[in-house]
Amino acid sequence: MPDDYTDDANGRRQLRRDLRNLEALGYSIERHLRPLRWSIDAGTHLLSDDDVLALLHIREAFTENHPLTPLVTRLLARLTGHLSDNQRALWQRQPALRAPLNPAIDYRDCADLIRSLETAISQRRQITFLYRARGRSEPIRTSG
């Protein structure tokens, strides 16, 4: 890496420093011989115990009939897939304080519609609704 490190004691010191800093950030570094090279792996995702507690409360907030539960569950599985043994025990417990987001109606079947509406709104597209007013036989179209 001649563009990044000089071929002298100073360059080797800089390389060792950078490799140590990457390890401190959670990267896995392996030295290979013949030819001399290093492989760097992203390693595990580093979370503090407070991060795990926050994720625990997010997990408990999304109840089974919330339309975003599958999406949140997949994200949490990716974030907590490489926890230490102590953090895994923390992750598996039930929190003392729970504040579930439990809709009055089961919206699981509406997840695709909600996602489409979010996309349309974020793209600032006009949305039209068709509904049937009480006492009228013909549907009414309204734009929002």
Mean pLDDT, all residues of the chain = 83
Q: What is the mean pLDDT of residues 83-111?
A: 80
pLDDT at 44: 59
Residues with Cβ within 8 Å of 90's Cβ and at least 6 positions away in sequence, in order, are 49, 52, 53, 56
| pLDDT over 80 at 3, yes or no | no
pLDDT exceeds cutoff 80 at 97: no
Under 8 Å between Cβ of 65 and 107: yes
Contact 23, 16 (CB under 8 A): no
Whole-prediction pTM value? 0.50
**pLDDT on residue 1:** 65
Amino acid of residue 28: S
Give the Cβ contact number of residue 24 at 10 Å.
9
Query: What burial class does residue 80 get, using C-beta atoms within 10 Å of its C-beta: 0-12 exposed, 13-18 middle, 19+ buried?
Result: buried
Q: Report pLDDT digits (tens) over 4-59.
A: 888 889 988 998 899 888 887 777 888 888 888 888 877 655 788 889 999 998 88
